[in-house]
Structure 1
Amino acid sequence: MDTTLVIGNKNYSSWSLRAWLPLRQAGLSFCEEVIPLRREDTSEQILSWSPSGKVPVLLHEGRTVWDSLAIGEYLAELYPQAGLLPAARAARARARSIIAEMHAGFGALRKECPMDMRAHRPIDLSAETRRDVERISAIWEACLKEAGGRGFLFGSPGLADAFYAPVVSRFATYGIMPGPLGQAYMEQIQDWPLYQEWLNAARQETWSFNLTA
């Protein structure tokens, strides 16, 4: 097999999920190389695969592609039939905008609510994190209204949903409740068979570490 995706622990690695989902959507057969995070040899292991020293990294047909956004764009270009980006130019531009916003922003949410799919521990959010939640909820609502009010952000599952799926996980873990459309979107993602496949694998992992350390 000439395709390998190198990822971190499925319970914790939100960026790995963002690469794994579109790879599965594209229908590729691939090997998974899971590197446990926060161990003494983690950096050394990752560097043996990834020039950036970070996961995820995709090895495909002799090419090395790192960073979840680059991987998603690479797959969308290579496998247009997978529908990772909308066909319509305006919708595609909007999808790229909200993907880039997720990729670059929401630092308060990331810091205060790290992904931990096996956990459920509601917390009181800081003002900065509440602003992130409000912005994400607005993104979801705008896209869902344009797509007809229910379902995935652009009607069918795509790269935008892959990038916001870890947010759904965070909201579930920390008891964060968006508005009605946002809650419907969370249910859509949580019922998505690919998301369920990843979640079930995360629950079976034996590695754990203290996220507050």
Structure 2
Amino acid sequence: MYALYIANKNYSSWSLRPWVLLEGLGIDFEERFVPFLQGSSYEAFRSFSPSGLVPCLVDGDVTVWDSLAITEYVAEDHPQVWPTDRAARAWARSAAAEMHSGFSTLRNVCGMNVGVRVKLHEVSDKLQRDIDRIDELWTEGLSRFGGPFLAGEAFTAVDAFFCPVAFRIMTYDLKLSDTALAYAERLRQLPAMRKWYEAGVGETIRDLPHDAEIDGVGTLIEDLRAV
């Protein structure tokens, strides 16, 4: 059975991607939770992850780090990770890779923090470009492959890679088209996403550097996390 190392569900967008993929597709795995440490988690995470980062997947004597590498490794034994149609699969891989390597302004301004609600001070031109590109990608996938998911009828890796964005939209009240907002809500209502959200809100561990980022970008208007 796979062992998947993850960090705090409230904050860790990178951990969410492979976790929601495995959980959502019913692929057996053991969750190994290692919380972020104050200061630096690098040395502690190095005990299981060569990069000192999460997520990290261990399969017997094989260790796979990085969310995209984990996805491709799992897909070797579980082809449902990607769409069966070749064109849809090519599009899905491209969109997932774009999410994996891009959207830096969205990541930096709107850090994942599922248990709070924040009013942004401003939406810069760079942030708006990222939002617009997300909207464009989602609308294209839903239209081209018929929905309800980005590459067709089934939830696949491309949807998993955008699951953190669905939470960011909720946290920061980001404005997208009705089509994109409906898709984000569809993701949030998936049983795996609801399970992650409830666990994230229920966490009492706080990562102060993550929380401190809020003051730099907006105003905290609601904190739903457990005390």
TM over 0.5: yes
What is the count of residue pairs matched by the alignment? Answer: 209
Report the CA distance shift for 1:211/1:165 in structure 2 as closer, same or farther (over 3 A).
Answer: farther
1:133-166 CA-partner distances (Å, limit 9, x unpaired): 0001000000011132x42112211100100000
- The structure 2 residue matched to 1:121, chosen from 112, 118, 121, is 118
Q: Distance in 2 between the 1:19 and 1:169 partners?
A: 15
Answer whether contact 1:122 1:176 (CA < 8 A) is retained: no
Q: Deviations over 1:57-79 (max 9, x none)?
A: 00013210100000111111211
Residue aligning to 2:95: 98
The equivalent position to 2:109 in structure 1, one of 109, 112, 120, is: 112
| Partner amino acid, structure 2, of 1:160 | V
Once residues 190 and 25 of structure 1 are traced to their aligned partners in structure 2, the CA distance between those partners, rounded to angstroms, is 12
Cross-structure match for 2:224: none
Q: Give the aligned residue type for 1:32.
A: E
Given that 2:24 and 2:191 are in contact with CA atoms closer than 8 Å, whether structure 1 keeps it comes out as no
Provide the rounded CA distance (Å) in 2 between the counterparts of 1:211 and 1:190.
25
Q: Structure 1: which 4+ aligned runs deviate by more than 3 Å? A: none
For structure 1, the residue ranges without an aligned partner over 5 or more in a row are none
Give the TM-score taking structure 1 as reference length.
0.93
Counterparts of 2:40 and 2:145 in 1: how far apart (Å)? 45
> In the alignment, is residue 45 of structure 1 matched against residue 44 of structure 2?
yes
Gaps of 5+ in 2: 217-227
Return closer, same or farther for 1:142/1:41 CA change in 2, 3 Å cut-off. closer
| Residue pairs, 1:55-94, within 5 angstroms | 55-80=54-79, 83-94=80-91
Instruction: Report if aligned partners of 1:16, 1:56 keep a CA contact under 8 Å in 2.
Output: yes
Residue 3 (str. 1) matches residue 14 (str. 2): no
> 1:114 & 1:39 partners in 2: Cα distance?
17
Q: Give the conservation status (yes or no) of the 8 Å contact 2:4–2:55.
A: yes
Would the aligned equivalents of 1:26 and 1:79 in 2 still touch at CA under 8 Å? Answer: no
Partner SS state of residue 9, structure 1: coil
Larger mean CA deviation between 99-108 and 203-212 belongs to: 203-212
Give SS of 1:121's match.
strand
Please tell me the root mean square deviation across aligned C-alpha atoms, in Å.
1.5
Q: Summarize the Cα distance change of 1:194–1:181 in structure 2 as closer, same or farther, 3 Å threshold.
A: same
Counterpart Cα distance in 2 of 1:3 and 1:185: 29
Of 147, 154, 157, which aligns to 1:156?
Answer: 154
Q: Secondary structure at the match of 1:198?
A: helix
2:114 aligns to what SS in structure 1? coil
CA apart distance, 1:100:
0.5
2:175 to 174, 177, 183: 177
Query: Does the aligned pair in 1 maintain the 2:88–2:145 contact within 8 Å?
Result: no
Amino acid at match of 2:181: Q
